[in-house]
Amino acid sequence: MNGKLIPDEQIWELLYLADWAPTHKITEPWRFIVYPGDKAKAFALEHAELYKNSTSQDNFKQDKYEKILGNGKNVSHIVVTYLKRSLNVDIPEIEEIAAVSAAIENILLGAAALGIAGFWSTGGMTHKKEMKKFLKISDEDTVMGILYFGYADIIHEGKRIIPLSEKIVWNK
């Protein structure tokens, strides 16, 4: 990413797209914490420090720390996405996970359509209880990922290893 800032209005547009993801019993379990500009860089530093302070010396890896920190370099916005579990509705958790995943996909597709580079990370402290505490979300909630957005001078094409034809059984 090149450090050029995305207008906040475009991030709002992406979150609007997310809000139209399918959701069983209309629980709308997706929630977003947005870190724009300098707040994004501060979040990356805080995330790296959270990893450092929550990891024993035996398990700490300097390269992992630097990767977490580096994820915030030149980004415009970071969007932490989490599942706000609907405790008063009796539906399987997997359906709410699927709904939040669909919301994230809507965001990523919208970003690509706007020429915004983005990636979905589940690394670092994403799935640790310390991250929930840091974000001030409940124990029942699930951090689904950290989305990094910015503009890039070079757009990298995605790749697939397994041909699509090997993933489909087409009954005729």
Instruction: Give pLDDT tens digits for 124-156.
Output: 999 999 999 999 999 999 999 999 999 999 877
107 in a structural domain: yes
48: domain CATH number is 3.40.109.10
135 in a structural domain: yes
- Residue 152 CA to residue 116 CA, distance in Å, equals 7
**Residue 158 to residues 50, 88, 119, Cα–Cα distance (Å):** 31, 40, 11
The model's confidence at residue 157, banded by pLDDT at 50, 70 and 90, is confident
Task: Kindly give, in sequence order, each residue whose CB lies less than 8 Å from that of residue 45, ignoring residues fewer than 6 positions away.
Answer: 69, 72
95 in a structural domain: yes
- Residue 47 CA to residue 30 CA, distance in Å, equals 21
120 in a structural domain: yes
172 in a structural domain: no
User: Which tops the pLDDT comparison, 90 or 134?
Assistant: 134
140 in a structural domain: yes
**Residue 34 to residues 41, 82, 92, 137, 167, Cα–Cα distance (Å):** 12, 12, 28, 14, 35
For the chain, what is the domain count? 1
pLDDT tens per residue, range 33-71? 999 999 999 999 999 999 999 999 999 999 999 999 999
pLDDT at 158: 80
pLDDT tens per residue, range 1-44? 999 999 999 999 999 999 999 999 999 999 999 999 999 999 99
What's the predicted TM-score (pTM) here?
A: 0.94
1 in a structural domain: no
Nearest CA among 12, 27, 19, 29 for reference residue 149:
12
153 in a structural domain: yes
Residues spanned by the domain of 128: 8-167
Task: Kindly give, in sequence order, each residue whose CB lies less than 8 Å from that of residue 122, ignoring residues fewer than 6 positions away.
Answer: 144, 145, 146
Nearest CA among 113, 112, 126 for reference residue 79:
126
Quote the tokens at residue 76: 């415009």
